């Protein structure tokens, strides 16, 4: 079924690859509910939704596309959901879930047609890299704020916090621990860094152990089927829908291509069974919205499993089994997520890793570099991923037109620019 012999792997190898991938990405079941709960959502409901949406998307990836790729709610998209859409725009989390669902349905339609390639080709490579880096800077900023390493200042807007505060000091210690583990290439360094920081928090009296470590999963009813689709259209959230769709589409595609290339599964630089792989994410995003979480995305952490020999969907199925087991550990996960010092280092380091793509931008080319620069700096400064993308998308074709390079811009990109201009200038953003 998984073509193990054809791909030169074995069952034990695939199982070990699954365990390795699980350890590198399981931090999301702690971080994601912690972020979305700041938008007013029930922690336990989001926790269960996170696990179930990840399992649904990853099962489809493993069974129908046969790739060792794991999907889960994407970092950056969850921050955009909680801090920009809900926190920044004052939209209810129910309406925000409605926007995720609409984006998921559109993603399903795109996955079934060739239009998905046109959409991906229309966006310049420099801007794709800039969006990834901008999101990385944004979630790093959020991690620093949550831990009060950076605090508000009446004179300069922002300043360095009191590093002697126990929670802030523990955040710095936790960050150092995670970086040491990362430097020594420890598998699952983010997850183990969280556990070590949790032990230190308990020793310092900042963490109180729950009465029970294991419990039956409950609370999904607080978030499941609570989405408000009608509110999406009455609020004019078209830029939000487009942002969810855009980031999910090219982030997932880029990650899948990278992992597939690492595993040697590309054929003539083509991505076989791409429709099934994209459908896995599209259905995962739609399912997640119904259950109560932000959009899913392919995880670059899947490359850790590939590095130890994972080559088939059996790796993904193994991760699904391990994710299902986490459902019974919600008491301890809730405690871990409530301590900023435990989750903030993960946000900071993931943001750092996402900034790596900046080296791929042609900085000597003004028309490519300046719009990319605007996207990167405006995402954290405006506290909005959509605003950063929108301004970059407006400036890019303007510079090309001024330089007489009108044909360098895909026709559909001009439509993106006009829509973002209308949204930013005339509507709430």
Q: Which tens digits make up the pLDDT trace of 57-78?
A: 999 999 999 999 999 999 889 9
Q: How far apart are the two ends of the chain, measured CA to CA in Å?
A: 48
* C-alpha to C-alpha distance for 261 and 263, rounded to whole angstroms: 5
* C-alpha to C-alpha distance for 340 and 149, rounded to whole angstroms: 11
Residue 40 has pLDDT above 90, yes or no: yes
Angle at 184 between CA 181 and CA 188, to 5 degrees: 50
Residue 120 has pLDDT above 80, yes or no: no
Beta partners for residue 159, in sequence order: 151
Return the axis-axis angle of helices 385-402 and 366-382, rounded to nearest 10°: 160
**Confidence at 262, pLDDT banded by 50, 70, 90:** confident
Distance of CA 367 to the CA centre of its chain: 28
Q: Could you tell me if 146 and 346 are in contact, meaning their C-beta atoms sit under 8 angstroms apart?
A: no
* C-alpha to C-alpha distance for 284 and 247, rounded to whole angstroms: 15
Distance of CA 206 to the CA centre of its chain: 28
Q: Could you tell me if 315 and 62 are in contact, meaning their C-beta atoms sit under 8 angstroms apart?
A: yes
Which residues have C-beta within 8 Å of that of residue 216, sequence separation ≥ 6? Answer: 328
Question: Rounded to whole angstroms, what are the CA distances from 158 to 140, 153, 223, 378?
Answer: 15, 5, 34, 16
Q: What is the mean pLDDT of residues 159-186?
A: 94
Q: Could you tell me if 371 and 396 are in contact, meaning their C-beta atoms sit under 8 angstroms apart?
A: yes
**What is the widest separation between alpha-carbon atoms in the chain?**
68
Return the axis-axis angle of helices 238-262 and 274-291, rounded to nearest 10°: 130
- pLDDT at residue 385 in the model: 82
Predicted model pTM = 0.83
Residue 298, phi then psi, degrees to nearest 5: -70, 140
Residue 163: Cβ within 10 Å count? 11
Distance of CA 154 to the CA centre of its chain: 32
Residue with tokens 């895909």: 410
Beta partners for residue 153, in sequence order: 157
Percent above pLDDT 90 for the chain:
56
Q: Could you tell me if 303 and 46 are in contact, meaning their C-beta atoms sit under 8 angstroms apart?
A: no
Out of 245-249, 317-321, 384-388, give the one with best mean pLDDT: 317-321
- pLDDT at residue 261 in the model: 79
Q: Could you tell me if 148 and 172 are in contact, meaning their C-beta atoms sit under 8 angstroms apart?
A: no
Q: What is the DSSP letter of 159?
A: E
């Amino acid at each position: 079924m998984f073509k193990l012999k054809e791909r030169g792997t074995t069952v034990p190898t695939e199982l070990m690859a699954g365990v390795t991938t699980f350890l590198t990405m399981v931090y999301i079941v702690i971080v994601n509910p912690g972020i979305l709960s700041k938008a007013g959502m029930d922690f336990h409901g989001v926790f269960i939704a996170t696990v179930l949406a990840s399992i649904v998307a990853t099962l489809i990836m493993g069974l129908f596309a046969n790739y060792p790729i794991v999907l889960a709610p994407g970092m950056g998209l969850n921050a955009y959901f909680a801090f920009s859409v809900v926190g920044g725009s004052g939209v209810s989390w129910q309406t925000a879930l409605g926007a995720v669902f609409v984006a998921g349905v559109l993603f399903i339609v795109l996955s079934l047609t060739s239009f998905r390639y046109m959409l991906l080709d229309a966006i310049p490579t420099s801007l794709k890299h800039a969006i990834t880096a901008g999101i990385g800077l944004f979630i790093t900023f959020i991690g620093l704020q949550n831990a009060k390493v950076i605090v508000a200042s009446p004179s300069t807007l922002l300043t360095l916090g009191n590093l002697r505060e126990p929670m802030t000091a523990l955040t710095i210690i936790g960050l150092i621990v995670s970086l040491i583990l990362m430097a020594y290439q420890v598998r699952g360094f983010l997850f183990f860094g969280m556990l070590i920081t949790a032990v230190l928090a308990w020793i310092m009296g900042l963490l109180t152990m729950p009465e029970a470590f294991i419990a039956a999963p409950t609370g999904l009813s607080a978030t499941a089927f609570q989405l408000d689709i009608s509110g999406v259209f009455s609020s004019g959230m078209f830029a939000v829908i487009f942002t969810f769709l855009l980031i999910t589409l090219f982030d997932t595609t880029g990650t899948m291509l990278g992992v597939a290339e690492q595993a040697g599964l590309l054929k003539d630089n083509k991505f076989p069974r791409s429709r099934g792989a994209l459908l896995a994410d599209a259905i995962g995003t739609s399912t997640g919205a119904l259950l109560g979480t932000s959009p899913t995305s392919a995880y670059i952490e899947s490359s850790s499993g590939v590095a130890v020999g994972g080559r088939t969907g059996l790796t993904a199925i193994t991760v699904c089994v391990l994710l299902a087991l986490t459902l019974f550990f919600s008491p301890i996960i809730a405690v871990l997520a409530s301590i900023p010092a435990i989750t903030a280092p993960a946000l900071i380091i993931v943001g750092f890793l996402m900034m790596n793509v900046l080296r791929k931008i042609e900085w000597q080319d003004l028309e490519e570099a300046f719009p990319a620069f605007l996207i990167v700096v405006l995402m954290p400064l405006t506290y909005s991923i959509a605003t950063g993308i929108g301004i970059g998308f407006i400036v890019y074709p303007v510079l090309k037109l001024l330089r007489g390079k009108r044909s360098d811009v895909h026709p559909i990109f001009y439509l993106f620019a006009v829509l973002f201009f209308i949204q930013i200038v005339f509507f709430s953003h």
